[in-house]
């Protein structure tokens, strides 16, 4: 049996994980956001384990880093990774390789897919046409990656200075900084108190108070709340007022709702 652990806020990584799993066969998909945060993660019962995540600040989201720290040392027969990004994967693979090494696990091979960037405070949304091209290329890359995993291919990471030496420290600092950024979220009067933001927040950082979402300082900064809000009522500073929201077209809001209650 194969297993893929994934984290996704706007569906790019989830869509990639689904496509990958369908091609690989006999694969269970587990959402990292839905796992018990206190428990250990034992990989030993799966023949292959994929760790799928979006790149944040050239590195790994905090929730994925914490997940890796809970992996049982030395478990995992064949562990590989796939990241999705807006075109700049930075040091993500080096950081993952180092974190897995601390768990006595070798990263067999890593893949990356360029997808539409969901970081709307910094990137202009891509056109429909460009999106189609990115998805088509991602599908072709998945075919190649699945073939490599089926053959249990290993490929040492090509270390490229300065990303391999300095990149990880910078990226990890930047990601740690993101948790305080939730003080810049605010809500317009379009909010109809549906509470979807509270249900999809991977860190249960959003609490509805008097019908309005409030953020509580332990944010992944995944932007899921802002991107999925059906009324586009959630804003980040003023910059998001002018941008269209994004989520992967094959993924629905229900797919992002947490299955466990914290």
Nearer to ligand FMN, 16 or 103 (CB): 16
Q: Is residue 56 within the footprint of ligand FMN (CB under 6 A)?
A: yes
**Residues within window 188-217 making contact with ligand FMN, judged by CB under 6 A:** none
Report if residue 62 touches ligand FMN, rule: CB under 6 A.
Answer: no
- Out of 99, 145, 223, 256, point to the residue binding ligand FMN (CB under 6 A): 223
Q: Binding residues for ligand FMN, how many (CB under 6 A)?
A: 27
In our burial notation (b when 16+ CB lie closer than 10 A, e otherwise), range 77-99 reads ebbbbbbbbbeebbbbbbbbbeb
Is the Cβ of residue 77 or residue 141 nearer to ligand FMN in the bound state? 141
Q: Tokens standing for 247? A: 């989520």
Applying CB under 6 A, among 2, 10, 91, 110 the residue interacting with ligand FMN is 10
> Site for ligand FMN (CB under 6 A): which residue of 13, 48, 112, 240?
13
Residue 202's nearest CA partner among 184, 178, 186 is 178
Q: Does 169 bind ligand FMN (CB under 6 A)?
A: no
Q: Interface residues with ligand FMN (CB under 6 A)?
A: 8-14, 54-58, 84-88, 90, 115, 117-119, 178, 221-223, 248
């Amino acid at each position: 049996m194969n297993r893929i652990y994934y984290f996704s806020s706007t569906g790019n990584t989830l869509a990639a994980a689904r496509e990958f799993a369908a091609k690989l066969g006999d694969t269970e998909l587990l959402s990292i956001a839905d796992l018990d945060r206190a428990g250990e993660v034992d990989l030993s019962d799966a023949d292959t384990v994929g760790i799928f995540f979006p790149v944040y600040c050239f590195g790994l989201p905090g929730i994925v880093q914490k997940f890796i720290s809970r992996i049982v040392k030395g478990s995992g027969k064949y562990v590989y990774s796939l990241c999705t990004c807006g075109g700049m994967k930075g040091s993500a693979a080096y950081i993952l390789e180092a974190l897995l090494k601390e768990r006595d696990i070798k990263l067999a091979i890593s893949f990356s897919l360029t997808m539409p960037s969901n970081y709307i405070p910094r990137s202009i949304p891509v056109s429909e046409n460009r999106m189609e091209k990115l998805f088509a290329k991602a599908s072709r890359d998945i075919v190649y990656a699945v073939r490599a995993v089926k053959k249990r291919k290993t490929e040492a990471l090509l270390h490229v200075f300065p990303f391999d030496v300095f990149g990880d420290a910078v990226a990890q600092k930047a990601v740690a900084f993101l948790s305080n950024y939730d003080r810049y979220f605010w809500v317009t009067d379009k909010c109809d108190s549906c509470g979807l933001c509270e249900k999809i927040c991977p860190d249960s950082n959003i609490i509805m108070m008097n019908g309005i979402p409030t953020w509580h300082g332990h944010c992944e900064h995944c932007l899921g709340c802002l991107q999925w809000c059906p009324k586009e009522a959630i804003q980040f500073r003023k910059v998001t007022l002018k941008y269209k929201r994004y989520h992967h077209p094959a993924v629905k809001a229900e797919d992002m709702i947490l299955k466990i209650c914290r």
